[in-house]
Amino acid sequence: MSWPSRAIQAERLPVVIVFLNMHKDEMHFNEALNAGAQGYLVKDSAAADVVQCLHAVAAGQQYFSPALSGHLLTRARRASELLTEQQGLSSLSPTERRVLALLGEYRTSKEIAALLGISSRTVENHRAHICEKLQLRGTHALVKFAIQHKTELG
């Protein structure tokens, strides 16, 4: 979705963005925040909420419809989880990061071993160390993590 606020940010215009939207779902809410919104109201908000929002953003604060508070909590939780994951990623050695990146490309241990010029057993050891460092459990957890974070590993 293309948000006008992205164009405003690109131009570095001195404006504050408030969304008045009919969508209450988390996806639209997160897109608005990621696009730089300082306020987000749903269309069924009371007029008093609209006025309160405008006063808040004019004073340099953020304002979001009370109906969206659950989305804010979810967003905060996800941000905390991402920070923990990123700290875990920073504990990996360069070889472990390369193994993880190749796993994110759906490579098998045998393929990774051939690409890196190491034995399959060494790849399995790297996989075990990565799981330990990232606190991942289960046979598919490492591959799932690698796929979800492949942009951070490349």
CB 109, CB 142: distance < 8 Å: no
Residue closest to 72 by CA, chosen among 31, 29, 133, 104: 29
Give the whole-angstrom CA distance, residue 145 versus residue 135: 11
| Per-residue pLDDT, 28 | 85
| pTM (predicted TM-score) | 0.47
| Per-residue pLDDT, 79 | 67
In order of start, what are the domains of the chain with their CATH numbers?
Answer: 4-73 (3.40.50.2300), 91-153 (1.10.10.10)
- Tens-place pLDDT, residues 58-82: 999 999 888 788 887 787 777 666 6
- Tens-place pLDDT, residues 37-50: 889 888 887 888 89
| Per-residue pLDDT, 15 | 84
